Structure 1
């Protein structure tokens, strides 16, 4: 939040009633300041205080939503310039463009729909399909918007600076809150009216930052995406950085997410440019390519940048079956830190034998760190053995633990009743361990 705990405390009723779940109003104020609680948890705060706190504590970058339903894209709510200061809230939306004069729109949209990637156990994809009024024809633009909408679950970006063409496209796609991309100094009033009519987010484009700020203020609309007008990568980078810095200083005209266009004719440079925009604050990056080889590096970069640095990537803590194991196959225990789990899984698969893997919930930290932190314990492993369903899957009662925590074996065997085998310290030793200690 934008206020300190003490500044928030001054606005609270100071009754220490505990209705918010905290022991004192000061404790609640500190939770609010750190973003771990919401003002609606206090039933006694006055309307005047609520208005003051809501205004002062609003994120520097407003939340803007594109589309509706399961694939709705949320942007904004950003509060920091550098990820390590806290975290970035909403990953950059990746949009793939199709032109309305393309003869194979449905086919290209189908290729966009296939851009789905499994990365460290998480499913990632692109977020938007951008329909470009390249023909300049309103009817063709509307028909293209209809075709795209019928063939993809992703929200649309409608790109045209012709208000009449935009109106025609919105007649067929406006109900799903697409992003209207086309307001500028010449058509601002008409585009704002369309945005209000369909309650849709609007891109406002300026010829530089000064004009952009003036246009946003003149529009008086709150569902805004910013386009500085720059297209050269160095200028885009400078504008993106300046917009974020000014937003954090509460310059309200720049307090919105941004959109960038990676359209360099060099197919390699365009991906490099897109990576720069993802790294430096772009809310949306629009690309023309739907080649998986181009999109996967950007998806990976986005994942790395927008992962919460205070929250490791973790897999679900449940029973995993590798290569259709049966009742006589081994059971490996590890933690739910993604890197640890996928190392174990990969080395089991490399050994070409079936097995069960039980990743214990350690809040996403590794084996030795989890043990040192008291999160990878005999008690937690026993609970996992008892609740995961593994007892119904195997006829034996043998469990293999990582060699680095051999110290847990005695207590674990006592608590669980399972025979505990100490595996290799490194998962790369799993195939040879299997042949020597378990091979049939």
Structure 2
């Protein structure tokens, strides 16, 4: 099958063509272009008829299926890819990160590990990142023991669970415990697919298909599950982690993506997963294995892999993977913006300093990071600069006196502080005279050149600024 080409002009033919602007775009053609680029939602057009909606959704459907597993507000979704490389458009099926536990652990150790996994988190740009799922491995091969462990883990956490065994009896024992919670069964193979299919149909689960280095078999099993009505599938062509064989793993991932987005082969048009956790079995040194697992995980993220099972729940490993994932799966045409607001850092009071900055994500990230790092108690007014950095926004006119004053009024800054001192970035020095005119009752001063110097600046200058 040929690669499907999406045309904004064809989409526009199905739109109302009134250019009303209610969708947030200036024209229907602009809205059609955004739909093709996947930077807006079809539901934003209030005048679209049901028949047209159905046609456009079919026209814009990505070649890779979107799948879900888990339940409630913890349900996970991935897939929906349509390009080989993110530079062509973007990656969309953000990598799901799961860490493993196993059924031969003591109860005490199991509980401790699950709590360690679920408690592993960090905050970046005011967003909290945590582990997405837990994979439960059957090491004992005992269905009853596996069932007990699944029950124990599900009692501790509501994270989606991946049930890992090649024995259908073990998988069924775990699936019974999680009925209605839609776990992911790992895995259906050429030897057990019939029984796993029966389990998936009975308990309405998602299924991972495992066929190491045999893409034809992957497709054959997936096609069978398709025909039987099981659509939440994810493909695992095997993770060969030895240095001499890692290229084969990457080659298989690329071949699967090409079969999906270029050739539109239905049975291979599903999300793909990897298991960097196999590194734990390849090294005698735990430290070496953890480092290599992290190395593999980061490589796989850059390839747009949709799910990974990891073994070492260490924050030093988790953070760089998440940082990379958030960058790789960020749509380049979506604004890098923080919501304008008056943000409180480190529990400020009415006498704490007031500063202002732009709502560009990287600018906010650097400034907020320094404020947290040095435990600076202050108020930070983030104004809408159309996602431009301060120096760029000064040049464009977005970081200006009028805009700052409007945001101060919008967020009622005067009621938050007793003083009347406003600190602006030094790179915005050219707006200082105008801002002082707009705020005659305020003392507007230039802050340090770099946010890393804020703590020192306030230590040396704040008392004098307030006293003057």
**TM-score w.r.t. length of structure 2:** 0.84
CA RMSD of aligned residues (A): 2.9
Q: Residues 46 and 329 from structure 1, CA distance in 2 versus in 1: closer, same or farther, beyond 3 angstroms?
A: closer
Q: What is the CA deviation profile of residues 28-85 of structure 1, one whole-angstrom value per residue up to 9, with x for unaligned ones?
A: 54444333342794766574x6665443421121111121122221101122222233
Q: Residues 344 and 54 from structure 1, CA distance in 2 versus in 1: closer, same or farther, beyond 3 angstroms?
A: closer
Contact 1:2 1:33 in 2 (8 A): no
Unaligned runs of 5+ in 1: none
User: Which of 253, 266, 274 is the equivalent residue of 2:267?
Assistant: 253
> Post-superposition shift, 1:13?
7.6
Match of 2:218 in 1: 212
Q: Residues 271 and 3 from structure 1, CA distance in 2 versus in 1: closer, same or farther, beyond 3 angstroms?
A: same
Matched, 1:126 2:131: yes
Q: What is the CA deviation profile of residues 102-150 of structure 1, one whole-angstrom value per residue up to 9, with x for unaligned ones?
A: 1132221111111111234321121110011111111111111111111
In 2, Cα distance between equivalents of 1:63 and 1:24: 29
Q: Residues 344 and 105 from structure 1, CA distance in 2 versus in 1: closer, same or farther, beyond 3 angstroms?
A: closer
User: Which of 420, 426, 434 is the equivalent residue of 2:444?
Assistant: 420
In 2, Cα distance between equivalents of 1:5 and 1:402: 42
Range with bigger deviation, 181-190 or 151-160: 181-190
Q: Residues 166 and 333 from structure 1, CA distance in 2 versus in 1: closer, same or farther, beyond 3 angstroms?
A: same
Range with bigger deviation, 308-317 or 62-71: 308-317
Match of 1:68 in 2: 71
Match of 1:234 in 2: 247
Range with bigger deviation, 365-374 or 348-357: 348-357
> Post-superposition shift, 1:429?
4.4
Range with bigger deviation, 116-125 or 177-186: 116-125
Matched, 1:404 2:404: no
> Post-superposition shift, 1:328?
3.8
> Post-superposition shift, 1:89?
1.6
Matched, 1:141 2:155: no
Contact 1:319 1:356 in 2 (8 A): yes
Contact 1:328 1:394 in 2 (8 A): yes
Range with bigger deviation, 308-317 or 165-174: 308-317
Match of 2:104 in 1: 101
Q: What is the CA deviation profile of residues 378-407 of structure 1, one whole-angstrom value per residue up to 9, with x for unaligned ones?
A: 222112222324312322222111121122
In 1, Cα distance between equivalents of 2:158 and 2:311: 19
Match of 2:186 in 1: 181
Match of 1:243 in 2: 256
**TM-score w.r.t. length of structure 1:** 0.89
In 1, Cα distance between equivalents of 2:417 and 2:50: 60
Match of 2:60 in 1: 57
What is the DSSP-based 3-state SS (H/G/I as helix, E as strand, rest coil) of the residue aligned with 1:339? helix
In 2, Cα distance between equivalents of 1:315 and 1:278: 25
Matched, 1:5 2:11: no
In 2, Cα distance between equivalents of 1:354 and 1:28: 43
Matched, 1:372 2:377: no
In 1, Cα distance between equivalents of 2:337 and 2:12: 36
Match of 2:286 in 1: none
Residues paired across the two proteins, number: 438
> Post-superposition shift, 1:291?
2.4
Q: Residues 106 and 253 from structure 1, CA distance in 2 versus in 1: closer, same or farther, beyond 3 angstroms?
A: same
> Post-superposition shift, 1:229?
3.1
In 2, Cα distance between equivalents of 1:350 and 1:51: 50
User: Which of 149, 167, 174 is the equivalent residue of 1:169?
Assistant: 174
Contact 2:90 2:332 in 1 (8 A): yes
What is the DSSP-based 3-state SS (H/G/I as helix, E as strand, rest coil) of the residue aligned with 1:174? coil
Q: Residues 404 and 315 from structure 1, CA distance in 2 versus in 1: closer, same or farther, beyond 3 angstroms?
A: same
> Post-superposition shift, 1:368?
0.9
Matched, 1:151 2:156: yes
Q: Residues 367 and 192 from structure 1, CA distance in 2 versus in 1: closer, same or farther, beyond 3 angstroms?
A: same
In 1, Cα distance between equivalents of 2:53 and 2:407: 45
> Post-superposition shift, 1:182?
1.4
What is the DSSP-based 3-state SS (H/G/I as helix, E as strand, rest coil) of the residue aligned with 1:334? strand
